Amino acid sequence: MKKLLNTLYVMNEEAYLSLDGENIVVSANKNGLGRIPLHTLENVVCFSYKGSSPALMGACAARGVGMSFYLPNGRFQARIDGWEQGNVLLRKEQYRISDCLESSHRYAKNMIIGKVFNARWCVERTLRDHKLRVDTERLKNVSLELNSGLKKIRETDNMESLRGVEGQLAERYFSVFDELILNQKNDFEFKVRSRRPPLDNINALLSFCYTVLTNDCANALKSVGLDPYVGFMHRDRPGRISLALDIMEELRACVADRFVLTLVNKKIIRKEYFVRQKDNAVLLNDEGRKIFFSSWQSRKKEKITHPFLKEKIEWGLVPYVQALLLARTIRGDLDEYPPFFWK
């Protein structure tokens, strides 16, 4: 099994990254802030304006270390990808599946089954652990709807019907999301999902977490030789990592939503870690991002038993394992793609 390496998050807006031998050097205003051995990293995520030296970008690309650049407000800017890994025949088969709506539907259907299954168990877990603090009838009704929705997903025979069922079930799940927020409800009230831009604290946290998770999925797909830009359910669009978004769907509730709920319910993230911009968008501030990534790295090191492999792995390896299973399915080693089922 692949070893889980570290991710370097650079939060200082004035930071500049450069290469010195086999080390990443982080500096700001001509002052050295740190040196990190390149071989200990699998990803670099940079939120500074100044970015990185070409030498460092080349070194990361050559060693398979992912690099992603964001503005300090969290808006995605660019990714650095190195040499393609894996068999070219694998990617050619991926492209053939993507071009065939019938074949794409078979893969997308399993991913959405995983998404709805995991969303239901997020609801069920709250019912089990906090039944005296929530509206149990509302949560039970939505749980039943999500459960019956799994059958509807299996019965879809084309992509449009799949998208329709998925959209309805996602709406039902988010209709009770506010019930899953147990503390700081005044500061993190959830009314409706707002994306571009997020208009309140909880939506800002969700959007940021989805972005980070999608980046992890893209890096995982690259590492097994798949093209993260060519998806099955999310169709091709310039600059969109469509297959990473596909994989992220099944991990959305069990990885991202549960993590966000933990940050809020345990009061790790509070209202003072957000800023409202002129266009009314709400974003995490510098301190909020530091706390987020510190907690995210800790969560990634926690162990779980993978439901398909029946092996103990770190949470942070789940995107990699799912990417590996997807590659094996595309190659024909597995009859169908096994989504990640969490309880």
58, 121, 135, 156 from 15: Cα distances, Å: 19, 41, 47, 50
Conformational region of residue 219, where left means phi above 0, alpha means psi within -120 to 50, and beta covers everything else: alpha
Of 65-74, 122-131, 190-199, 261-270, which gets the smallest average pLDDT?
65-74
pLDDT of 337 > 90? The answer is yes
- DSSP letter for each residue of 224-269: TT--TT--SSSPP-TT--HHHHHHHHHHIIIIIIHHHHHHHHTTSS
What is the predicted pLDDT for the residue at 115? 95
CA distance 15 to 25: 10
Q: Output the pLDDT for position 222.
A: 84
Q: Which two tokens stand for residue 134?
A: 């929530």
Whole-structure pTM value: 0.83
Are the C-beta atoms of residues 111 and 233 closer than 8 Å to each other?
yes
Q: Bigger pLDDT: 291 or 50?
A: 291
Q: What is the mean pLDDT of residues 43-52?
A: 80
**What integer pLDDT is reported at residue 9 of this predicted model?**
79
What pLDDT sits at residue 5?
Answer: 66
pLDDT at 63: 82
Alpha helices in the chain (DSSP H): 54-63, 88-99, 101-129, 136-155, 159-175, 201-223, 242-251, 258-265, 286-300, 318-331
Q: Is the pLDDT of residue 81 over 70?
A: no
Neighbour tally for 290: CB within 10 Å? 14
Question: Between 122 and 78, where is the model more confident?
Answer: 122
- Please check the confidence at residue 251 and state whether its pLDDT lies above 90: yes
| pLDDT over threshold 70, residue 86 | no
Q: Of 48, 79, 49, whose CA–CA distance to 65 is shortest? A: 79
3 pLDDT higher than 70 = no
Q: What is the mean pLDDT of the chain?
A: 87
In whole angstroms, what separates CA 202 from the centre of its chain? 16
* Top-level class of domain 88-331: mainly alpha
pLDDT for 185 beyond 60: yes
The first and second tokens of residue 313, run together, are 């792995």
Nearest to 233 by CA among 163, 325, 337, 161: 163
Give the relative orientation of helices 201-223 and 286-300 as an angle to the nearest 10 degrees: 50
Superfamily per CATH, domain 6-80 = CRISPR-associated endonuclease Cas1, N-terminal domain (3.100.10.20)
Per-residue pLDDT tens digits for 277-328: 888 888 888 889 889 988 998 898 898 898 888 888 888 889 988 998 999 9
pLDDT attached to residue 4: 56
Res 73: pLDDT: 62
Domain edges within the chain = 6-80, 88-331
Lowest-confidence segment of 72-81, 239-248, 274-283, 315-324 by average pLDDT: 72-81
Please write the tens of the pLDDT for every residue from 107-166: 999 999 999 999 999 999 998 888 888 888 999 999 999 999 999 999 999 999 999 999
* Residue 82 pLDDT class (50, 70, 90 cuts): low
pLDDT on residue 64:
78
